[in-house]
């Protein structure tokens, strides 16, 4: 008994001494070795859940490739459903920043949520990588040192199309977009190059968001005698507009062109053959022939039951790729936020859409190309076939002076 106690005492004492000696090292390893927390604010229910799903699936594809580990630290994704409602999105943002203390935040889809979370993110010095919302302001007067964007600014897919439509389709166009900020911004961006190229806007119409009957506008388009329509619609609006445009027999005499969202894979199957021949500008199509994209399409389809990746998936892929590469560059150190911001700004890699890099002036992605795509029936289905491209499309960033 006596001996046993002494042996126990010795063992305990030596362990204690070892712990004391190792103490500072153990503590440091704790800070470095914990999981990197990535907060995700996206819609996972409701109409736009398909977008949130595409973005998330592609992010998980990249993280899985890295075995969910970067620079020796585990990657942990904390997903929150913003329901496409600004109050919900902002509440979830606050939760991720204040209680979960995430290292990096990504999302959202809705521009209203982005503008609502902007000050919280900026003031708390949280790094945000925007994976969809296109509000121009976030690359302009409301830009922030802490905010990057891998997706697009609303200006980007539209501005190059003005010159292209004037040159290749018609010098007279009818513009249609939903009656809200993004719709009007996109039409303005189109006009920036359409008017100088000799184009004339015959008329503009702004139906309400969520319109179900476009007949009055389609009759106006026919009676105006234009040869081209340029528009922006997404979701059910895109389906209803494209279908009704076809049903009114306009396809024979008028070319329908628009921003890429008009014929993305989330709406293309519901539009069916009505979409054939529609021309849109976008930074991505799964038919791109670069090796990164071919591997991405193959891996994405294997993981997701044959589903084709869309522009949203490309955004998710690039968001995760930026995170992985920047964390490797700082060796997993998320404490020094300034260093991490610098590392993110410098990230450059081959993305499915082309060579990916940020504009140091705005922290917005420089689109390697805006592809002009035509919907055709190829490879056993409807696809956006690239027919032309415009290189290095960079948001003007008016009013943004980083670091701010």
> Cβ closer to other proteins: 240 or 351?
240
Report how many residues bind other proteins under the rule CB under 8 A. 33
CA distances from 71 to 327, 334, 336, 345 (A): 7, 11, 15, 19
Of the candidates 100, 56, 375, the residue with the CA atom closest to the CA atom of residue 246: 375
* Measured distance CA(54)–CA(66) in Å, rounded: 19
Which segments within 166-293 are labelled E, that is strand? Answer: 172-176, 200-205, 228-231, 255-259, 279-282
Does residue number 304 form part of the binding site for other proteins (CB under 8 A)?
no
Question: What is the nearest approach in angstroms of other proteins to the Cβ of residue 45?
Answer: 8
Which of 91, 220 has the CB closer to other proteins?
220
Closest separation between CB of residue 223 and other proteins, Å?
6
68 versus 206: smaller Cβ distance to other proteins: 206
User: What stretch of H or E contains 81?
Assistant: strand 73-81
Q: Can you read off the two tokens belonging to residue 65?
A: 């490739």
Indicate the residue among 134 and 207 with the shorter CB distance to other proteins: 207
Residue whose structure tokens are 């990230």? 347
The pair of three-digit structure tokens given for residue 376, joined into one six-digit string: 């055709």
Q: Which of residues 208-247 bind other proteins (CB under 8 A)?
A: 208, 210, 212-213, 215-217, 219-220, 222-223, 235-236, 239-240, 243-244, 247
Task: Note whether 50 binds other proteins by CB under 8 A.
Answer: yes
Output the smallest distance, CB 220 to other proteins, in A.
Answer: 7
CB under 8 Å to 13, separation ≥6 — which residues?
A: none
Query: Which of 168, 188, 248, 337 forms a contact with other proteins (CB under 8 A)?
Result: 248
Question: Per 3-state DSSP, what percentage of the chain is helix, strand, and coil (rounded to 5)?
Answer: 45, 20, 30
What radius of gyration, in Å, describes the C-alpha atoms of the chain?
25
Among 15, 47, 378, 404, binds other proteins (CB under 8 A): 47
Between 259 and 298, how does the x/- string for binding to other proteins read (CB under 8 A)?
Answer: -------xx-xxxx--------------------------
Q: Does 205 bind other proteins (CB under 8 A)?
A: yes
Give the whole-angstrom CA distance, residue 307 versus residue 220: 38
Catalog residues that contact other proteins under the rule CB under 8 A.
Answer: 46-47, 49-50, 205-208, 210, 212-213, 215-217, 219-220, 222-223, 235-236, 239-240, 243-244, 247-249, 266-267, 269-272
């Amino acid at each position: 008994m006596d001996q046993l106690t002494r042996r126990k005492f010795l063992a305990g004492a030596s362990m204690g001494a070892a712990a004391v000696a190792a103490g500072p090292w153990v503590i440091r390893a704790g800070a470095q070795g914990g999981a990197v927390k990535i907060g995700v604010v996206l819609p996972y229910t409701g109409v736009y859940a398909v977008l949130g799903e595409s973005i998330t699936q592609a992010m998980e594809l990249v993280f899985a490739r890295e075995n969910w580990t970067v620079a020796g630290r585990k990657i942990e994704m904390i997903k929150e459903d913003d329901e496409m409602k600004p109050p919900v999105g902002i509440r979830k943002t606050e939760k991720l920043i204040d209680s979960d203390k995430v290292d990096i935040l990504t999302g959202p889809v809705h521009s209203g949520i982005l503008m609502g979370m902007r000050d919280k993110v900026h003031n708390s010095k949280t790094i945000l990588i925007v994976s969809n919302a296109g509000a121009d302001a976030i690359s302009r007067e409301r830009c922030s040192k802490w905010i990057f964007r891998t997706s697009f600014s609303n200006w980007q897919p539209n501005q190059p199309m003005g010159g292209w439509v004037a040159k290749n389709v018609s010098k007279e166009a009818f513009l249609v977009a939903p009656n809200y900020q993004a719709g009007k911004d996109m039409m303005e961006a189109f006009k920036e190059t359409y008017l100088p190229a000799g184009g004339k806007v015959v008329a503009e119409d702004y139906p309400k968001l969520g319109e179900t009957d476009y007949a009055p506008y389609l009759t106006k388009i026919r009676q105006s005698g234009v040869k081209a329509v340029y528009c922006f619609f997404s979701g059910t609006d895109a389906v209803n507009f494209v279908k009704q445009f076809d049903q009114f027999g306009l396809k024979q005499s008028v070319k329908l062109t628009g921003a890429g969202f008009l014929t993305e894979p989330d709406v293309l199957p519901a539009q069916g053959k009505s979409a054939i021949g529609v021309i849109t500008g976008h930074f991505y199509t799964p038919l791109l022939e670069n090796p990164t994209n071919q591997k991405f399409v193959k891996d994405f389809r294997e993981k997701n039951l044959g589903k084709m990746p869309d522009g949203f998936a490309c955004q998710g892929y690039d968001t995760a790729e930026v995170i992985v590469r920047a964390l490797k560059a700082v060796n997993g150190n998320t404490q020094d936020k300034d260093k991490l911001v610098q590392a993110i700004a410098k990230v450059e890699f081959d993305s499915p859409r082309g060579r990916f890099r940020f504009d140091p002036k705005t922290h917005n992605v420089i689109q390697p190309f805006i592809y002009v795509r035509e919907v055709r029936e190829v490879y056993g289905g409807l696809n956006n076939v690239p027919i032309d491209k415009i290189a290095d499309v960079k948001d003007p960033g008016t009013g943004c002076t980083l670091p701010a």
